[in-house]
Chains A and B, each alone.
Chain A
């Protein structure tokens, strides 16, 4: 394997990881601050992608599409929190799983009613289409580089929000002791709605960005949701830093595992079975990583509690 190919694959893994971060950040915030398992987070990702595809179809502008994705998913998130999730904070996790699973079904069928069963069209904006030449002779799609950039910017923004702003202090306080900050006169239910909408907006942004290079269809959120759960378990539940490190780890493991494992198996197996065995092990790689992390750090890499 040449160095150029390896660097390209590392970039791919990085891009995948950054995308996962946008999903996992919201999920881990919601779980950390509110103690809520939100299975419907993948649906908010789908809402973002569909809103972007619809607006891009009407207006032809990718920037407007991104704004629409953020607005639609944040609104959907806030509505869901006000109407459904609010009643679930005091219930146990099983009730939350049941209710948010119901939300998945409602979102999926609702989207199908609105947009039909066929995948929608959402393309990369012309200015960002095509590959560019990186130093060292690596031809890499510009749009994927932009995704990496946007993802890292958003990560920096979320860190700043949590660490440096008043809202961030309230979020961290809510994570530590929700009764106490309510007693201190902070409107905890408003805070919860805001955190939920913020998480939803991040998921929607991920959906819109990824929708341009993948397929915008009903049910697109659930596979990503599973990976996002793996990320927050590895990173430590409730930790934004953990979500970022976990995302990059999962992204790199998944991408490089798929590339490196089949040739590795081919060194000691016949080529035909090495391809299938290698592919099978590669799809297990992130779960093996998760088991490995949990063996040594049972509460995840950055899980405090």
Chain B
């Protein structure tokens, strides 16, 4: 299960000739992500996005490892990358439980960690670290923005549904934090549940006008297909995770019209994003997902800091990362004091472009969104 990619063949000649400029300092990056088993699609997209943005940079050496979505393996790989591979920066983790196992250990050993996906609240609040940067989002962001949009757009009665595990309950609490209407039903399903007939019957019987749900991966696919076949006429909303490009292909037309919150969409109108979408399709022959966008931005952020400071000088490199001086595919992007993003969260709608089911932005759900945990962060 060892996957290893050396992006840059070491440019030994340049080093040997004593050409090491401050802005040409080499950085070795260890990427631990999920490349096999369930949820591998997310890790593969983060990796591909990162590799795309780092292409051609001879000063960035990348070592990629597969955590198989298992916390114990992720911890072993972290030790290996830090001790034998001597990496300077770690990145890649998709899942919050793996991030909680890896990030504190990595930062305690003086390594930078750039999160391309997971944003558990503990790492945004009390557990924040000067060396930890989240380039994606704090976990609650999409839900809080969803609650704001629903309140602003006349949605009054909502039926909530999520799997019965921390990310599910946290997400629903995030939505309730900002939603001003009434929650008429709330169901927590088994993690990994594949049949939602019972829940759909409850939704049909409720007087909700909108179903708001978070069911990642295969759970969301199953629910949407069954919901569409049930003939229940209610609006559907959720965070982008259940309606991302990799998933929409498997849901098909059943997802049309669904509203979902995201910090990125392929139709965000800026030059960086246009280039990213075009390059990604040319390189890999598929549409990029938000995970790919996050991997891409992570590599851009890292390279912007590499151009300003030497990674061996931790304070200077940290300051360079904090500037976030890169053209994000999301448009405006800045770090809050707790090293989590301040960014716009958009509302997208699932539409059909030709034969492809995809997302289109219909408005901003929350501009310059920032998480609520930063107040507890003492850096």
Contact = CB atoms under 8 A, between A and B. Distances in A.
Interface string A223-252: 110000000000000000000000000000
Given A118-B250, A130-B229, A275-B188, A223 B194 contact: yes
Interface stretch (B37-45, B51-59, B147-155): B37-45
The bracket for how many chain A residues form the interface is 35 or more
A119 B194 CA distance: 14
B104 interface: no
B186 A214 contact: no
A283 B164 CA distance: 10
A214 B218 contact: yes
Contacts of A12: 195, 197-198, 201
Contacts of B247: 118-119
A108 B39 CA distance: 13
Given A121-B250, A214-B194, 7 more contacts: A2-B205, A5-B205, A119-B218, A123-B252, A131-B231, A213-B226, A223-B192
B231 A130 contact: yes
A220 interface: yes
B164 A280 contact: yes
A2 B229 CA distance: 22
Given A2-B205, A112-B40, A121 B197 contact: no
Interface in A191-217: 210, 212-217
A218 interface: yes
B222 A215 contact: yes
Given A120-B250, A214-B218, A216-B250, A141 B198 contact: no
Interface string B38-73: 101100100000000000000000000000000000
B249 A121 contact: yes
Given A16-B197, A258-B198, A279-B187, A124 B250 contact: no
A117 B44 contact: yes
Nearest to B220: A215
A255 B38 contact: no
Contacts of B177: none
B232 to A, nearest CB: 8
A224 B222 CA distance: 14
Contacts of B36: 109, 112
A240 to B, nearest CB: 23
A259 B229 contact: no
B225 A214 contact: yes
A138 to B, nearest CB: 10
B202 interface: yes
B80 interface: no
Interface in A122-180: 123-124, 129-131, 139, 141, 143-144
B238 interface: no
B221 interface: yes
Interface in B244-268: 246-247, 249-252, 254
A189 interface: no
A139 B199 CA distance: 15
Contacts of A215: 194, 217-219, 221-222, 225, 250
B38 A217 contact: yes
Given A5-B201, A215-B221, A279 B40 contact: no
Sorted from nearest, which 3 A-B pairs have the closest CB atoms? A215-B221, A215-B218, A131-B231
Interface of A: 2, 5, 8-9, 12-13, 15-16, 108-109, 112, 117-121, 123-124, 129-131, 139, 141, 143-144, 210, 212-220, 223-224, 255-256, 258-259, 262, 275-276, 279-280, 283
Contacts of B164: 276, 279-280, 283
A124 B254 CA distance: 11
Nearest to A123: B252
Interface in B198-233: 198-199, 201-202, 204-205, 217-219, 221-222, 225-226, 229-231
Given A215-B221, A275-B188, A8 B194 contact: no
Interface in B167-207: 169, 186-190, 192, 194-195, 197-199, 201-202, 204-205
Nearest to A139: B231
A259 to B, nearest CB: 5
A214 B195 contact: yes
Contacts of B169: 276
B244 to A, nearest CB: 10
30 contacts: A5-B202, A9-B198, A9-B201, A12-B201, A16-B195, A118-B41, A119-B247, A121-B250, A131-B230, A139-B204, A139-B231, A141-B229, A143-B229, A210-B194, A212-B225, A213-B195, A213-B222, A214-B194, A215-B218, A217-B217, A219-B37, A223-B194, A224-B194, A258-B189, A258-B198, A275-B186, A279-B164, A279-B187, A280-B164, A283-B190
A212 B195 CA distance: 12
B198 A123 contact: no
Contact of B201 (A8, A108, A129): A8
B221 A214 contact: yes
A119 B188 CA distance: 24
Given A123-B225, A223-B192, A283-B164, A259 B231 contact: no
